Amino acid sequence: KCRTGPLDIVFVIDSSRSVRPFEFETMRRFMMDIISNLELGPNATRVGVIQYSSQVQNIFSLKTFFTRADMERAINSIIPLAQGTMTGLAIQYTMNVAFTTQEGARPLHKRVPRIAIVVTDGRPQDRVTEVATQARNAGIEIYAVGIQRADMNSLRAMASPPLEEHVFLVESFELIQQFAKQFQDKLCGVDMCVDREHGCQHTCISTPGSFYCECNPGYRLNVDGKTCSPIDACADGRHGCQHHCVSVQGSYSCRCRPGYYLSQNKRSCTMIDYCSFGNHSCQHECVSIPNGHYCRCRSGFTLQPDSKSCRATDLCNGVDHGCEFKCVSTEGSYHCVCPEGQQLQADGKTCSKCGAGHVDLVMVIDGSKSVRPQNFELVKQFVNRIVDLLEVSPQGTRVGLVQYSSRVRTEFPLNKYHTADEIKKAVMDVEYMEKGTMTGLALKHMVEHSFSELEGARPLSHNIPRIGLVFTDGRSQDDISEWARRAKESGIVMFAVGVGKAVEEELRAIASEPVEQHFSYSADFSTMTHLVENFSLNICPEESKGETEIRSPCECEALVQFQTNTVAILQSLTEKNILWARALAQMTARLEDLEKQIANKK
C-alpha cells in the first residue's frame, strides 16, 4: 500500500478510435493495478476517472466511490468513445470540473496533492501547452504516460517538472501493466515523515516527495508551518456566556461568578439562593445576595446586634395599624391622627380630604448605592405615605415620580396614573438603580421634562401649583445650584428631604423660601416617618375656628384661603419675572370676583 498520506488522483484516459478494444482492456487493468496499492477512503486517497476522445465523459468523480470494489465495477463498465483525440479539452475539464470541491477535491488549504494521470496513445488534435500550464499553476501535478504512437513533445508539454519524473513512454500496451509497478513507486516515493526530520509539533502528513504539518483539533498552525497554538474559542465574542467564557482546546465552556451557578442552557447564570438552605436563623426575613445572605426585619422592627433577631420600634411600626396619615404610639396601644385641617373619620383611621387644593407634584428620589436596598424600600413607603395625603385624580392632584443615581429615570410621569392606589402600586414596583448621586442632573431632568405639558403638567395659565420634592441621603456628585435656582425661577415650589449623610447646605439650596418650612432632615431611614407630617403642601388650608362654627376646608371660603396662600408663594418667586407678575395680577382679579360672589351668597 501507498501510505504517504491522502491524495486526490484523477485518471484521464484516451479512448479515441486509435485505441483498439484489447488495448483499452489493458488500460483498465493499469488503472486497477494502481488503485489496488492505494489506501482509499474519504480521509485517505480519493480517485476519479474520466475518458476522452472528441469529447470528455466523467466516469466517476472524487466523491463518488471510496472502496476498490466500487471503483473496479465502474472502470469495467466503461464503453470507449472511439472518436478523436482532444487531450487539451480533457485537461481543461480536469482543471475546471474534476478538481473542484463540488466534485470531491479537498480544499487547497488542506494541502492534499492533486494528481492527474494522463494516458494517451497518439498526438493531440488540439493545443495542450497553454491549458496544461494553467492546470499546473492551479496546483495540479500532471503525469503524462504515452503508449506506442504517443508524441513525446506533447507528453513533455503536458507534464509537471522535473520531466524525468513525470513523463513515461511505454513501447506497447502489453508492457503497460509491467510499467504500473514502476509508476506506483514514482507516485508514492519515500515517506518523508518517516525518513526525514520533519519538525512537526503535532502531526506530519506525507505527500509525494514532500510533507506538511497539521495540528490536533483545538489548535491552529503557526506561521512557521510546524508549531501549533491553542485556538481561543472565546475571542470572537459569540459564545453567549453570561459571566465568563473559558477556552478549552478549540472549544469553550461557560463559568459563573462566585455566588452563582450555571443554568441548564450552560450559558446563563442564576444566583444561589442561600436562604433556601434553611440554616439562616433570621427571625423575620432572609435576603439572598451573591456569596451569602443577610437578615431583614419587617416594617416597624429593628435588626438587633446579632444580625438575626428583630425588635419592634413601637406599636405603630409593629402592627398593621391602618392609619391613613399617622399612627401615634401610646403605652400598650396606639391611635390615628390626621393632618392639620383634616378630621378623623368614624372608622378611626381615615381622614377627610379637601378637594380644593390641587397640585402637580413630582417626587425626585435618590436611588444611589449609599441608600442600600432595604432603605430604598423605606423610601418607597415614605413616598406612599405622602400619596395618602392627596386626593389624586386627573382634575385633582397629579403625581409623578423620578429616580436618580448616576443617571435619571422617569418612573412614571404626571399623566400616567389617576388614582392613589395605582400610584402606590407603581411606587412599590420601582426597582432600585444603585451607583452615583447626580442630584443636579435630576433637578435638570425635573425642570426640562417632568413639569412639561407633554408629561402631564397642566399649563401655567391654569394656576395649578407645581411642587417638587427632592429626597436624598448624601452629597451630590455634581453641582446643584444652577438647576435648583432654575426650578424655583420657573415657578416650582421646592421641598428638600434629607436622611443620614445628606448635606444641609445642599438641602437649603434646593428648598424654596422660607427655607425652614421647605426642608426636613432625619438621622436615619428607620425614623424618617415623622417627616411626612412636616411636609405641608397646603393641600387643605388651615381650618378657622370660631365660637360656634368650624368651617370645612373644602368650602368656598377655604378655597379662597388656599388660593391666597398660593399667590403668596408665587409672589416670592416671581419678583424678577414680569410675565409672572402679569399672571398674578390676573389671578388677583379672579379672586376678587370670587370673594364678591361668596359675599353675595351670604
Summarised one tens digit per residue, pLDDT across range 195-223 is: 678 899 999 887 766 778 999 887 889 99
Sorted by where each begins, the domain ranges of the chain are 7-188, 314-352, 360-539
Please report, for residues 7, 82, 485, 524, the alpha-carbon distance to residue 402 in angstroms, rounded to integers and kept in the order given: 72, 92, 19, 22
Q: Is 189 helix (H, G, I), strand (E, B) or coil?
A: coil
φ/ψ bin of 322: left (φ > 0), alpha (ψ from -120 to 50), beta (otherwise): left
Q: Please confirm whether the linkage preceding 514 is cis (ω < 30° from 0).
A: yes
Q: β-strand 310-312 against 326-330: which pairing, if any?
A: unpaired
Residue 399 has pLDDT above 50, yes or no: yes
Determine the average pLDDT of the residues in 126-130.
94
Closest CA to 67 of 34, 105, 36, 28: 36
Instruction: Band the pLDDT of 311: cuts 50, 70, 90.
Output: confident
Determine the average pLDDT of the residues in 140-163.
89
Q: How far apart are CA 305 and CA 302, in angstroms?
A: 10
Cell digits of residue 396: 385633582
Question: 314-352: what fold?
Answer: Laminin (2.10.25)
Q: Is 175 helix (H, G, I), strand (E, B) or coil?
A: helix
Top mean-pLDDT range of 274-278, 355-359, 556-560, 568-572: 274-278
Q: Is 149 helix (H, G, I), strand (E, B) or coil?
A: coil
Determine the average pLDDT of the residues in 441-450.
95
Closest CA to 471 of 415, 534, 513: 534
Give residue 558's pLDDT: 38
Please report, for residues 199, 520, 534, the alpha-carbon distance to residue 205 in angstroms, rounded to integers and kept in the order given: 12, 83, 87
Give residue 532's pLDDT: 56
CA angle 184, 188, 189 (to 5 degrees): 110
Q: How far is CA 598 from the centre of its chain?
A: 65
Task: Give the length of the chain.
Answer: 602
**What percentage of the chain exceeds 90 in pLDDT?**
37
**More confident: 463 or 362:** 362
Q: How far apart are CA 596 and CA 225, in angstroms?
A: 103
Q: How far apart are CA 407 and CA 367, in angstroms?
A: 10
Average pLDDT, the chain: 82
Top mean-pLDDT range of 346-360, 380-394, 515-529: 380-394
Instruction: Band the pLDDT of 574: cuts 50, 70, 90.
Output: very low
Q: Evaluate if pTM is beyond 0.75.
A: no
Closest CA to 247 of 228, 237, 233: 233
Cell 492527474 -> residue: 116
CATH architecture of the region 7-188 = 3-Layer(aba) Sandwich (3.40)
Instruction: Band the pLDDT of 585: cuts 50, 70, 90.
Output: low
Which residues, in sequence order, are CB contacts of 36 under 8 Å at separation 6+?
68
Give residue 6's pLDDT: 83
Give residue 535's pLDDT: 57
Q: What would you report as the CA-atom Rg of the chain, rounded to the nearest whole angstrom?
A: 47
Q: How far apart are CA 212 and CA 199, in angstroms?
A: 10
Q: How far apart are CA 380 and CA 361, in angstroms?
A: 16
φ, ψ (nearest 5 deg) of residue 157: -70, -30
Summarised one tens digit per residue, pLDDT across range 499-514 is: 888 888 899 999 988 8
CATH architecture of the region 360-539 = 3-Layer(aba) Sandwich (3.40)
Q: Please confirm whether the linkage preceding 413 is cis (ω < 30° from 0).
A: no
Q: Residue by residue, what is the 3-state secondary structure of 371-411?
A: HCHHHHHHHHHHHHHHHCCCCECCCCEEEEEEEECCCEEEE
Whether 360-539 and 314-352 are alike in CATH topology: the answer is: no
Give residue 151's pLDDT: 87
Give residue 342's pLDDT: 67
Are residues 321 and 429 in contact, defined by beta-carbon separation less than 8 angstroms?
Answer: no
Instruction: Band the pLDDT of 182: cuts 50, 70, 90.
Output: low
